[in-house]
Amino acid sequence: MGLKTAFARLAAGAPARCFAIVGAGADEIAPWLRLDPELAIVDSPRAADVLLVLGRFNEDTLHAAAAVHDLVPPPRGVVSWSPGHEAARGLPFTDAVALSDPSEIGSAAVRLRDELLSGRRASSPDILPDVDPAPWRGVGPFGQGGAGMTGGVPYGRPLAGRANDRDGLKLDQILVRVGPFLPPFPPGLMLDVKIQGDVIQEVSMPAAALDDGSSVADEHHSSEAPGSTEAMTRFAAVQHDPFIAALMRPVPVADLELARARHHLAWLAEALRVSGLEAYGRRVLKLARTVRPEAAEPVDDLSRWLRRNLSLRWGTSGVGVVSASQAAALPGGPVARAAGDGRDVRSLDPAYQRLGFMPVVLEVGDALARWRLRVAEAQQALTLAKRSNGSVTTPSGLVEGLRGPMGARVSASTALVTMLPELLVGMEWGDAVTAVVSLDIDMAEAAVLHDVAAEGRAS
């Protein structure tokens, strides 16, 4: 006991190791958690002390969240936060510390961790029953799960199937469901992936994927017209997003462009982290939080550093190439612009035209091009914000958002999610992750516009 107390006291000074599961409405909070010195965001629930449950969830994602909760090794605890003071509603975490102020997450997590490790608070119990999904032993003559030698589905899990691989052999293939909370992927993204070794042979979307998790729609959505600005307003209510505001009223160019620069830099921070440069990613994340149009030199330094870093170029060039025809099928946005498609709603806006705006366009269309394009756009955005001199946009029903035009029938995220299966097949796992991260998909955006599109088809 003495040793345990000593260990708990020693551990008390460390940041709380947290695994974050991010639902709808938490996009404003989640990316910045890594800047909190009281938190250490970990990649695996097995390495966590505290589970952070941020945002709102629907029935399916709640089940996945409960499964993640059971993976956290005891002693474990839950800190939850949700926009609009409805934290506790429907969550299965009975003993969660529910917060209404997201700025308290760090201190609450540390306090909870200390109580758990010192034994002053009981570990959060399992939510899901620990049983085999199917009976198994003893059906066939060798005790196997079915009549044939490899028949049956032991524990309800089918055995690996055979399929041709790229060397012309017929080898085992396993089906893996990825998501909705796998750290390198955007929260809410779910994919059914068939892998052979680490080569992806087939990708499909689970039926519920787009409605899942991130859907902020509720009982009202049948009253709205497809593509209407009301749908976007609903989105905006959660997002506090200047881009949504720009759909309806004039907004200062400086606001839009600063938000764009910050978003692109925060995206870069995450991309760097997934590439293995976690510490540098944190530096960039801090820059994303603090950058101002008047002091843009750090971004120029960053751009130079990126160009010089051969290892990043090695890992991203030629990965996840979006062809010119695929880019043309996208509604627009950075991914299309990195593949040579220069559409940009900003070109049509008089305020931008007065500032002499020219979209940044790259030709190659691979992950490296998308990295470079976003950094160049961040630099450009800061320059525009600095020179804008108080000019405002003219609302036209379309706005160049962070990922593509907003107000169009199909959002860039929806188009990118739909493109994923054909893009990822044949890639190795590492390349596939690089590609997905470089596309910068937002499942909340995809889900809202998916709802809207579905209504459009129904009416």
Partner 1 sequence: MNALGVVIAVVSVAFVAAAGVYVTAWIDLVLARAVAGLEVRPLDALIAPLRWAAATALKARTTTERPDAEAWALAPALLAALAAVGLAAVPLAPGLLAADVANGIVLFGAAMALVVVAVFLQGWSPNSPLPMIGGYRFIAQGLSYEIPLAVVLIAAALPARSLAIAPIVTSQEHLWNVVRQPLGLPLYLMAGLGLAFWGPLALPEGQDLAGGSSLETSGASLLLWRAAQLLVLVAVAAMGTAVFLGGWLGPLLPGAAWMILKTLFLLIPLIATRHFVARVPTERYVVVSWAILIPLSLLDVFAAGIQALMAAR
Partner 2 sequence: MTLQALVFVAAAIFGIGVYGALSQQSFVMIMMGLELMLNGTILAGGAMWALTTGGSPKGQMLVVVLMTVMAVEAAMGFALVIGVYRVRKADITEKIKRLKG
Partner 3 sequence: MILNVTFWAFSALAVFSGWRVFRADSMVRAAYWLLVSFAAVGVILVLLKAEFLGLILILMMGGEMTIMAVFMVAFMMNPAGLNPMTMVHRNSVAIVAGVVSFLAIAALGVFARFPVARAPVGIDPTRRLGVELLGDSMLVFQTAGVTLLAAMIAAVAISSARGRFGAGDEGSVEPDQLVPDTGAAPERVAGMQPGGPDGPRDPSPMAAGGHT
In this complex, which beta carbon is closest to partner 3, that of residue 35 or of residue 160? 160
Q: How far is the CB of 170 from partner 2 (least distance, A)?
A: 6
Phi and psi torsions of 343, nearest 5° = -60, 135
100, interface contact from partner 1, partner 2, partner 3, none, CB < 5-8 Å by kind? none
Q: 314-331 burial by CB neighbour count: b if 16+ within 10 A, else e?
A: ebbeebbbbeeebbeebb
234, interface contact from partner 2, partner 3, partner 1, none, CB < 5-8 Å by kind? none
354, interface contact from partner 2, partner 1, partner 3, none, CB < 5-8 Å by kind? none
H or E element at residue 235: helix 229-239
Q: How far is the CB of 25 from partner 1 (least distance, A)?
A: 24
Tell me, residue by residue from 233 to 262, as one string, x for binding to partner 1 by CB under 8 A and - for no binding. Answer: ------------------------------
Q: How far is the CB of 16 from partner 1 (least distance, A)?
A: 9
Q: In the block, which residue shows the tokens 């974050």?
A: 20
Point out which span in 163-171, 207-215, 346-354, 411-419 binds partner 3 (CB under 8 A).
163-171
Q: Does 169 bind partner 2 (CB under 8 A)?
A: yes
Closest CA to 118 of 28, 22, 4: 4
Among 15, 206, 226, 426, binds partner 3 (CB under 8 A): 426
Q: How far apart, in Å, are the Cα atoms of 54 and each of 165, 227, 386?
A: 40, 28, 35
Vertex 108 angle, CA 105 and 112, to 5°: 135
Q: How far apart, in Å, are the Cα atoms of 301 and each of 7, 297, 305?
A: 43, 6, 6
In this structure, the strands spanning 161-164 and 191-196 are unpaired
Q: Does 364 bind partner 3 (CB under 8 A)?
A: no
**Start-to-end C-alpha separation, the chain:** 67
Q: Does 167 bind partner 3 (CB under 8 A)?
A: yes
Vertex 238 angle, CA 23 and 33, to 5°: 50
In this complex, which beta carbon is closest to partner 1, that of residue 162 or of residue 314? 314
Point out which span in 167-175, 216-224, 271-279, 414-422 binds partner 2 (CB under 8 A).
167-175
- The token pair at 276 is 């293995």
1, interface contact from partner 3, partner 2, partner 1, none, CB < 5-8 Å by kind? none
Whether omega before 133 lies within 30 degrees of 0, making that bond cis, reads no
Footprint (CB under 8 A) of partner 3, residues 191-250: 194, 197, 199, 201-202, 204
Q: How far is the CB of 236 from partner 1 (least distance, A)?
A: 32
Footprint (CB under 8 A) of partner 1, residues 101-160: 113, 117, 132, 155
Q: Does 152 bind partner 3 (CB under 8 A)?
A: yes
User: How many residues are listed for the chain in this entry?
Assistant: 459
* Helix, strand, or coil (residue 389): coil
Footprint (CB under 8 A) of partner 1, residues 195-224: 195, 197-198
329, interface contact from partner 2, partner 3, partner 1, none, CB < 5-8 Å by kind? none
In this complex, which beta carbon is closest to partner 1, that of residue 12 or of residue 328? 12
- Under a CB-based contact definition with an 8 Å cutoff, are residues 106 and 77 in contact? no
- Name every residue whose Cβ is closer than 8 Å to that of residue 427 and which is 6 or more positions away in sequence: 199, 200, 319, 320, 435
d(CA 28, CA 36) in angstroms, rounded, equals: 14
Among 59, 142, 219, 310, binds partner 3 (CB under 8 A): 142
Vertex 197 angle, CA 191 and 199, to 5°: 55
d(CA 315, CA 319) in angstroms, rounded, equals: 8
How many residues at the interface with partner 2, by CB under 8 A?
A: 3
Vertex 403 angle, CA 22 and 356, to 5°: 145
In this complex, which beta carbon is closest to partner 2, that of residue 174 or of residue 453? 174
- The token pair at 286 is 């801090």
How many residues at the interface with partner 3, by CB under 8 A?
A: 32
Among 13, 141, 148, 170, binds partner 2 (CB under 8 A): 170
Strands in 315-444 per DSSP E: 399-400, 405-406
d(CA 133, CA 445) in angstroms, rounded, equals: 34
What residues make contact with partner 3 under the rule CB under 8 A? 142-146, 149-150, 152, 154-155, 159-169, 171-172, 194, 197, 199, 201-202, 204, 425-427
**Binding residues for partner 1, per CB under 8 A?**
4, 6-8, 10-14, 17, 43-44, 46-47, 49, 71, 73-75, 113, 117, 132, 155, 174, 176, 182-184, 195, 197-198, 272-280, 282-283, 286, 309, 311-312, 314-315, 319, 428-431, 433-434
